[in-house]
Every structure is written in C-alpha cells, then in structure tokens.
Structure 1
Amino acid sequence: MSNVVIDPVTRIEGHLRVEMHTKTLETSTGKWTVVDKAYCSGTMFRGIEIILKGRDPRDAWIITQRICGVCPAPHAEASMQAIEAAFDVKPTPLAILVRNILHGAYYIYDHIIHTYLLIGPELGVLAKYPPMVPPALGKEGIAKLNLGSSYAQALDIQRKANEIVAMWGGKFPHHQTEYPGGMAVKPTADKIAKTLSKMTEIWSWVANVMVRDFTKILEANERIGEAVSAILDVDFRGLQDLGASTGNFLSYGLFPDHENYDDWLSILYSPGYRKSALIQAGAWDGERKAFDLKKIEEYVKYSWYDNASGLHPSEEDLPKPNKEKSDAYSWLKAPRYDKKVYEVGPLARMINTFGMKWKIPITNPVTGEDFGYFEYEVQNPQGSVIDRVAARVAMTLLIANKMFDWLEEAKSYLGEKVTVKKDKVREREGFGLWEAPRGALLHYIKVRDYKIDRYQAVVPSTWNFSPRDDFGQAGAAEKALEGTWLPEMSVAEICDAIYPEKDIDLSPLGISKVVSWGEALTPALKQLGLARLNIEKVNGNEYNTTLALLVIRSFDPCIACAVHVLRC
C-alpha cells in the first residue's frame, strides 16, 4: 500500500513530519484506506542543553524559556524549581501564589489558543458548527452567518489573559520576574484589582462561550459517528473512536498549595501524588498509581543520537547527534515510564486528578450566580480526540475558577516577604517537575564548581511524539494514528457525506440560495486557496488527512520544545 506523508504538519510549533503506512479495509460498502503504522519525526535539531553548559545556574530559567515561544512560561517554572532544588531554597508562600496567578493566566491563554485556532477549525468543519470555523468571510460572515464568531472572540480573550501574564511577569513571552526562592514582583491592591477586572471578563467568556461551543461539538459527535459508520460499514461511535492510544497517562501535578509546599516537593524524593495541588501527580494505567521519578528513562535506538539508551535524565550526557544513524528517524528521544508508553497532557492531568468522571462548578465568582456544572465522563479509556479537547476545556474552566481564590489570598499577603535569597552552591543537582499545557515537563540541572555541568529537559511532545523505543513500542501519537481513515474525498465532499441536507441559507449575504454544508464551505475555501485542504497526493491517488491531523493536533504538538541553535 501507499505511504502517506504530511510534511510539515502546520498549525504547530516546530518541525514535525508524519509518515503513515497504509492498509486496505474491505467492508460491504467498499475498500477503504486506513493507517496501518505511523512514524513521527522531529526534523530539526536544537541544542539548549549544550548552550547551558558552563553558565551560571541562575541563568538557566531565562535561557530555557527560549526553547519555545508558545510555552516559555512552563520552561521558566520547571527550570526555576530545578534551580531551587539544587540551591536547597524554598520559595515563600506569597511567591508561590504569585507564580500560580501568572501561570494560571498563561494556561488560560494557551488552552484557548489550542481549542480555537489550532484544532478548532477541523472541529468546526466536521461538526457543522460555524462559530468555530475560521472567519473566512471576514466581519460580514461573522455578522450575517455567525461564521468564525467564537474563533474571533477567542483571539481577543486570549490577549486579555496574556496581558495578565505580562502584568505579573514584566512581559510576555519570556517573562522576567521569577527568581530562585521567590519573585521579583510584589502584589499590590492596584495589580490585583486590574487582574480581577480582566479575569471577570475572561471567566464569563469561558463559562458561556467555550463551554457552550464544546457542548455543541459533543452534540454533533453522534452524527459524525453515524455517518462514518454508514460510509465504511464499521462500528464508529464518533471522535471518541479516533486517536485512541495506550490508556497510560502520566502527570507531575500543577499549581501547588502555597501553604503546603513540602507536599509539592515530596515527589522529588519518594513516590507520591502531590495531593494538595490543584492538579495532582500520578501514573494511570487503568488505575491511579503514585508517580515515581526513578521510573523515567529515555531511549534513543530510533533517534539521531549516539548517546547510550535507556538512561534516567540525571544520567544523560550532552546530546551526541548522528544524522547517519541506521534505522533512526527523529531528533526526538523516546521517554518511557516503567518502560511503557505514557500519554501526557490535559487528559492525563484530569484523569490522574479526578478519574474518569469530572464535575466542575460554573458559579460566577463575582455575583455568585449558579449555572450548574461542567460534567464530563471520559468516552474512551485509551484516550481520544474528543476526550483531549474536553480536558482542555475543563482545565480552562477549572483554572479560571481558581484564579479568583488565588487573587483573594494574595490580598492577605500584601507587604509580606516575596523572596528568600540563597548563596550560590558549588556542587549539587536538582529536578523541576511541572506541567506545560501539552503535558509533563521535567528539567534537571547538575551544578559543579558553581557552573552548570549538565542540563536535561524532557518535555511533553517528547513523550507524545516520540519514535519507537528499544522494545519496538510505538510512541503515543504513533499508536493513536493507527486505524485512522484516509478518505479519497475533499473536505467539502466529506462534509456533504456527513450532512447531505441543504439547510444553509445564504440570503443574508445577498445570495438567494439554500445549500449543503459542503457547498457553503467551498467558496470560502477557494477564496483562501484551500480548495484541496489537507490533501496529500501519492502515486496518482489523493488522500484527505483531515482525520489524521485531528489526531495529531489533539496532542497539541510542540516540536521546538521536544528537540531543543539549528544544525545545518
């Protein structure tokens, strides 16, 4: 069969190539092309660990932010915690609160961006939901057809969340106000009031628009499942049967309790859960288990490195690139937990904290008005596209709720000490375990003669988009792509196959015509030069990779982070 290649994958950070080896699925309705095996390749080498060697340890958190322009804040925090562990210094309760506020706003920004701009277009098209389709017809399309209304609003709301990050971080991206042992910014009544004002608007949008939009996608999901089942003559429930991976989920925890930081630090030394944190740690493999730092190893059999394979991050040396290595196909390494493939990200966080059923209150934090709950039960225990989207929406609401608690707490700390200073150390090591929006983030620092001797960053997309390991196990995303349908149909044709009825009234645009969903999308796609959107040509055949891209984007890949100076 054919090998279908997407290179590069767009709407992500960094350079990702996905090669899909196909097979034929033969049913009563015909012969269909599906993915047999997938191979994910990070195609650019970067060397942040090399850059850090020999530098002052206190510089690491600033430099590692440059790993990524999308998620610099999590790298700063993971690095800061590694430095603090090496320096044996604990931040003050106020500093932890301020960090939570800064990173909470950052999280809201990032999850909105992903839900609407990165994966949202495919969701809006497949679910026949105009508000999440990009506003291809501009302001007129928004006003008259509701085309892209939520998409456009998301741009404005994420900007307001970013303004909060800049308020507490000095700027964004690459904030400047953290410091080992604390923060270089103090809360003031004015800063808290401005943050509350912005958060009030953000919370309202998340509760009333983001939750509603996801509900609409979920309602359309059954129709998608019925249509695909009929076309292929298979049992396909919907997006919960798209993108299933291993069912193993790893979380380091997120947003520590400022009054119980010892619980947060405990898993650096012994297995645990960080139960006092907003998001807890854990290693779910069908049941929740304590996270054990010692069980992490990185394998490089199929990676372009000559380093030893199967080492713990604290044992790894600087990367030794070798692009000519036999059988290797990626700059990403293959992290494994207890020698198994684990998925990381919002779904892993929610499952390890709340299990398979989530219930998040929707109560206006200013007026107290009760709107009930955001309730969700994981649709596929192996993970899926719809479950990963649900987890991002749930986390956005959860953090938006919590931001008001942190800001209220900060009021009681006005004038308190925000930083504990510590002299440099000659020789020590430390880990920072944090969660980037895309998943579990580890930074390790080894200090010798007051300088950085070794540094490692094991990042979310290294977990999710890893190549195969020494045991032949496919990475989480590689596994999730298996079985994905690659239709020989355009996007418009797929839409008309799912929604054949003619019920889109174009009269608001001055066109006296009622058309199908696919017909309505066609002129918008042509106007943008996207008539053959997501089509890959192989040996004279054309394969639509929209469903495969949904799987890939459900993990929110950040390959710039995953492979860490460009090598020519």
Structure 2
Amino acid sequence: MSTRVTLDPITRIEGHLRVDVEVNDGRVANAWSSAQMWRGIEVILKGRDPQDAWSFVQRFCGVCTTVHAISSIRAVENALNVEVPLNAQYIRNIMIAQHSVQDHIVHFYHLCALDWVDIVSALSADPKKTASIAQSISDWPGNSEKEFKATQEKLKAFVAGGKLGIFASGYWGHPAMKLPPEINLLAVTHYLKALDYQRKASQATAILGGKNPHIQNLVVGGVATAINVDNLATLNMERLIYLKTLMEETRDFVQKVYYPDLLAIAGAYKDWFKYGAGVTNYLAVPEFPLDTKNTQFVLPGGIVTGGNIKGMRMIKDHHDDYLIKNIKENVTHAWYEGSGTLHPWEGETKPDYTDFKENGKYSWCKAPTLEGKPVQVGPPAQIMAAYVAGNPKVRGLVDGAVSKLGIGLNDIHSTMGRIFCRGVRANVMADIALDNLDKLINNLVSGDKTYANHTEIPAGEYRGVGFHEAPRGTLSHWIVIKGKKIENYQAVVPSTWNAAPRNEKGELGPYEASLMGNPVAQPDKPLEVLRTIHSFDPCIACAVHTIDPAGKEITKVKVM
C-alpha cells in the first residue's frame, strides 16, 4: 500500500520548503523537493552599480547574510582582477569563520537536535546521572548536577504552563527516538546554553562587520574597517582583545559541548550512518585566502564523483577553469520559462508558475549541475577535501570519531554523516578564526595598515565569479558588467544545489535522492523525513531568491 505524505513547510529556520514523499511498506519510494517562494533579486540588480551588489544580495536571506556579501564582492573583484590587501583578507576570514561557528551551533541545537532529542523524556531524567555522563565526555565547567536540575525544573514549569510554542508540534515519544532520559536532559540543557554562545559568535562578526546580520564593512578591493591599534575611534587593540575573548569562548563551547554532544547522539543513532546518502557527487571550493590574489587557501576544494573519496579531484583556487565552465542550471522542472540548461553568466530568471505538477514544473529552485551531473554540497564535501589533502586537524577529528563510533569513512555519505561533518567543520572554523586574528595582529604590528585598494569600475564588458564555501556548502555569484553597470547577475547557492528538483534527465536532486529508501515508521508523524532533510541545514530563501501573494498555511502535514 502506498501512502502520500506532504510536509509544508519542513524547515525550522524559515519556511518555503515543501517535501512530498510516497511511502511503500514503511520506506520512501519516491520524493519531490519543492521550493515555495521566489524573490527575484537578480532582476532587481540589473542596471545597478556593481560595487553595490554585495549590499543587495545579503537580502536573499536573514540568515545567510555574510556569505552572500563575501561571494558578491569576490565576483566583482574577480571580474576586474582586483587584489585584496592581507589585512582585509584576514578580517573577511574571521567574519566568515565566526559566521560559520554561529550557524553550525544554531543548526545542531536549534534546528536539528529536536529530530533526535525527546524533550518530554528529559522530564524523567536523573540530573545526578546526567552530570556524571556529561563529565565523562567533557571537562566543560557547566556540566554540574545543579545545572541539569535547574533545566529540568524549567522544563517542568514550561510544560505545566501549557505554552509550548515551537515544542508543541514535536514528535515526542516517537518510536524512532532512542536516547535515554539523561542524554535528552543533557542535550536540552545545552540547547539553552547554545542560545548564549551563538550570540557571542554573532557579536564577534558585528565587531568587524559593523552590524550583524547584514554586515556593512565591505568594499571592492578590501574592507571599510578602519584599523589603528592605538586609536580609540577605530579597530584598536582593546577591541581586538575583546574579539579574541568572544572567539575563545565560542571555540570552547564548540569543542567541549557541541562536539561531545554530537558524538554522544551519533553513537545512539549509528543506524543513521546507513540512511540518506542520495547523490554522492560532491563539490567544495577552497576557502580562507592567505594571499592578495586568492591563490593560496587554508582549506582546499575538491570534486568527488560517485562517492569515490580517495579519487577526489582537488581544486587549487577560485580560477579553476573546469569548475567555471561546467556549472550550469536547468529549469525543466522549475517554475521559470523554458526547459533548457544555461551557464550562470547567460542565466535567466523569468518566472512561469504552473502550480505543483509532479511530472512537470514543481519548484522555484533551478537544478544546478556540474558537467551535467547533480551534485551535493555542504560540510561533507569540504571535510572530505581537507581529509584527502592531509589537514591534520580534520584527519584527527575524523579518524578519532571513526574509531570511537565504529564507522567507516564512507559512512559520511549519510544523514548522520552530514551532521557529523558539520560538527567537525565547526571545530575547524573556531580555530581558523583565532588563527586569522593572530595573523591580523602580527601584520598590523609589522607596520602594514592597508585595508583596501581603491577600485573604480572601468568601461567595457567584464565577467566574474565569486566562490565561497559557506556553512551550507559551495556558493557562487556570477556577474556580467557592461558600461559600468550590472548586465546580468545569478547566484548558485548551496540550497539550490541540494534542494534542486529533477534535472532534464529526470535525475533526482540531493534532497530527493537522500530520502529514497528511508524508513518511515508512522506516515502521520514522518520524523525520519525531517531528520534527513534537516541534516542538510536547508535555507530556502537563498535558493530561490516576491513572496507568494496567495499565502500558505503555517504548518501542514498531509497524509493520503
């Protein structure tokens, strides 16, 4: 017997994503990923000054803001062959890394954990036993019996008040929930603590960016962050020391709370390292430039085909000709005119809404491909690339977890593998932020005070692409400049890659493919579908770039 389940919206962070699945004999037999919103910012940008693009494109989303600013500014710099001073690179790198730390903390605790953690179960936990477990996996000073007991009392008062808010519709008591009460209490306590530490990471970004979200300090050729370690009105030593304190606090939270919690939860759900692989072609681009020409990077990029990690094709820098030539987007099943495949520099954004037609057009997402193939992006791709390249931090974390959990390297191709890789990446990002702060301070002390190369937009026609490895994966902004104005602009973002509908060959996008074969114990409570989709950390506003005037229900789970 076949059951059709529609979840709309499926995301916790912001809506706009509908997922339909057909369930046969307790397994997903077919799936459709449908982005339910269109913005049209690419159209708004046409005819504008290229130097203003980065400010507009941050409005793709209220979450993935910094990443679009960085990618956009790099696109213009790439088109005009502009160098970026070292101080500006270090400042950008710190903002990128701290944005990632904040994003990953929020994803694990506030957007993903409740698919695995039963809050109701935590009410019956023994706080003393919880403290003992927590202290056995981490020396975090907040892991005391007093802390866990206080959280449990808060939970009891919360439940007794009847105002459950976002927790009211949780699938508590679901048969797929496996954690013992004490681990549930541990996770809920750290869920609340995480609210403070993601704020600290945001503060760090704001110190450099002037504001968060939507940073204000970029210019083509560098940053507008005035630097003088001895001047009270600029980015001085006092602010840099405060910045370091914030980043050390968030690093410790990631490494002593987030990551141990992740391993504890992953250990209880090892079966989920076998579900959710889907598309096993991957892409990551190099990130954290260490020179003025974007040719040297802290982390490498790479392309995996068919899950062959050891056969990864490494990407050295952002000028990779194969990468630039072979990224294209298809609209056969997307709500745009036509059915063809176009390179982003020739890309079109002409809406053509037809309602949901599972064999026709059913999403506002285009279907990106690399050399004609669907590709998954995100932390697994970057962690694989760093692992193959021999990054010692990544190798140590991955090998240690593989041994501890009793899994293999290829188990990264999975629902839990994506969550695990995001935790590894958070570890790495926390260290990179502090390392780049040291580099910035040392460069300033050496006498280099340059933070921007003044740039004018010349006459003529220029094409550029700005690559960035964002928290959700590979992001690229593509710009055509003509007559000193934007002639065309397209963004190919991580959630476009992952949330893509079928392409012209009928090949499923990564979300869709990842659901195939997944267990579904109760179709009216499709927790397992949420687990796999949430493991990608979907953020659909970025992916589709005018809000649906017809409106949608706030929550809908339909079973037929």
Q: Note the alpha carbon deviations across 1:22-55, whole angstroms, 9 max, x for none.
A: 222xxxxxxxx21101000001111010110111
Matches within 5 A, 1:355-370: 355=388, 360=393
Query: The residue matched to 2:438 in structure 1 has which SS?
Result: helix
Provide the C-alpha distance between the structure 2 equivalents of 1:378 and 1:73, rounded to a whole number of angstroms.
34
Q: Note the alpha carbon deviations across 1:234-265, whole angstroms, 9 max, x for none.
A: xxxx01112111221101222112x36341xx
CA RMSD in angstroms comes to 2.8
Counterpart of 2:423?
393
Q: Deviation at 1:362? A: 12
Counterpart of 1:563?
544
1:60 maps to which of 46, 50, 53: 53
Provide the C-alpha distance between the structure 1 equivalents of 2:94 and 2:394, rounded to a whole number of angstroms.
20
1:157 maps to which of 176, 197, 212: 197
Provide the C-alpha distance between the structure 2 equivalents of 1:61 and 1:200, rounded to a whole number of angstroms.
29
Q: Deviation at 1:381? A: 5.1
Letter in 2 for 1:103: I
The answer to whether residue 328 in structure 2 is matched with residue 297 in structure 1 is: yes
Query: The residue matched to 1:247 in structure 2 has which SS?
Result: coil
Counterpart of 1:8?
9
Q: Deviation at 1:98? A: 0.6
Counterpart of 2:473?
439
Provide the C-alpha distance between the structure 2 equivalents of 1:41 and 1:556, rounded to a whole number of angstroms.
15
The answer to whether residue 453 in structure 2 is matched with residue 420 in structure 1 is: yes
Contact 2:273–2:411 (8 Å) recurs in 1: no
The answer to whether residue 340 in structure 2 is matched with residue 306 in structure 1 is: no
Provide the C-alpha distance between the structure 2 equivalents of 1:151 and 1:90, rounded to a whole number of angstroms.
42
The answer to whether residue 118 in structure 2 is matched with residue 117 in structure 1 is: no
1:220 maps to which of 268, 279, 290: 268
Contact 2:190–2:257 (8 Å) recurs in 1: yes
Q: Deviation at 1:379? A: 4.8
Counterpart of 2:347?
316
Letter in 1 for 2:388: G
Contact 2:95–2:209 (8 Å) recurs in 1: yes
Counterpart of 1:235?
none
Contact 1:379–1:387 (8 Å) recurs in 2: no
2:248 maps to which of 195, 200, 214: 200
Letter in 2 for 1:68: C
Percent of matched pairs sharing the same residue: 34
Q: Deviation at 1:295? A: 1.2
Counterpart of 1:21?
22
Provide the C-alpha distance between the structure 2 equivalents of 1:451 and 1:404, rounded to a whole number of angstroms.
38
Q: Note the alpha carbon deviations across 1:55-82, whole angstroms, 9 max, x for none.
A: 1111100000000111100000000000
Counterpart of 1:138?
154
Contact 2:200–2:250 (8 Å) recurs in 1: yes
Query: The residue matched to 1:124 in structure 2 has which SS?
Result: coil
Contact 2:363–2:501 (8 Å) recurs in 1: yes
Q: Note the alpha carbon deviations across 1:98-143, whole angstroms, 9 max, x for none.
A: 100111111100000001100111122399888899x78626689x
Counterpart of 2:62?
69
Moved more, 285-294 or 438-447: 285-294
Query: The residue matched to 2:57 in structure 1 has which SS?
Result: helix
The answer to whether residue 429 in structure 2 is matched with residue 409 in structure 1 is: no
Q: 1:196 to 1:329 in 2, by over 3 A?
A: same
Q: Deviation at 1:380? A: 3.7
Query: The residue matched to 2:416 in structure 1 has which SS?
Result: helix
Contact 2:336–2:349 (8 Å) recurs in 1: no
Q: Note the alpha carbon deviations across 1:274-312, whole angstroms, 9 max, x for none.
A: xx4222111111121145221111111111111452111
Moved more, 280-289 or 160-169: 280-289
The answer to whether residue 27 in structure 2 is matched with residue 34 in structure 1 is: yes
Q: 1:477 to 1:434 in 2, by over 3 A?
A: same
- Greater RCO, CA 8 A, separation 6+: 2
Contact 1:87–1:422 (8 Å) recurs in 2: no
Letter in 2 for 1:409: K
Contact 1:248–1:342 (8 Å) recurs in 2: yes
Provide the C-alpha distance between the structure 2 equivalents of 1:245 and 1:559, rounded to a whole number of angstroms.
19
Contact 1:281–1:353 (8 Å) recurs in 2: yes
2:222 maps to which of 170, 173, 182: 182
Provide the C-alpha distance between the structure 2 equivalents of 1:242 and 1:107, rounded to a whole number of angstroms.
26
Q: Deviation at 1:10? A: 3.3
Contact 2:387–2:395 (8 Å) recurs in 1: no
Q: Deviation at 1:146? A: 4.5
Q: 1:253 to 1:458 in 2, by over 3 A?
A: same
Provide the C-alpha distance between the structure 2 equivalents of 1:83 and 1:397, rounded to a whole number of angstroms.
31
Counterpart of 1:261?
293
Letter in 2 for 1:413: N
Provide the C-alpha distance between the structure 2 equivalents of 1:428 and 1:308, rounded to a whole number of angstroms.
27
Provide the C-alpha distance between the structure 2 equivalents of 1:37 and 1:358, rounded to a whole number of angstroms.
38
1:349 maps to which of 370, 382, 393: 382
Contact 2:285–2:474 (8 Å) recurs in 1: yes
Q: Note the alpha carbon deviations across 1:517-548, whole angstroms, 9 max, x for none.
A: xxxxxxxxxxxxxxxxxxxxxxxxx5321111
Contact 1:182–1:418 (8 Å) recurs in 2: yes
Counterpart of 1:522?
none
Provide the C-alpha distance between the structure 2 equivalents of 1:100 and 1:406, rounded to a whole number of angstroms.
7
Structure 2 unaligned residues grouped into runs of 5+: 135-147, 159-181, 228-234, 316-322, 550-560
1:50 maps to which of 35, 43, 51: 43
Contact 1:169–1:177 (8 Å) recurs in 2: yes
Letter in 2 for 1:347: P
Q: Deviation at 1:566? A: 2.4
Q: How high is the TM-score relative to the length of structure 2?
A: 0.79
Q: Deviation at 1:352? A: 1.8
Q: Note the alpha carbon deviations across 1:310-337, whole angstroms, 9 max, x for none.
A: 1111121333434368711001000011
Matches within 5 A, 1:450-465: 450-465=484-499
Query: The residue matched to 2:117 in structure 1 has which SS?
Result: helix
Q: Deviation at 1:373? A: 8.7
Provide the C-alpha distance between the structure 2 equivalents of 1:565 and 1:441, rounded to a whole number of angstroms.
22
Counterpart of 2:312?
288
Q: 1:391 to 1:356 in 2, by over 3 A?
A: farther
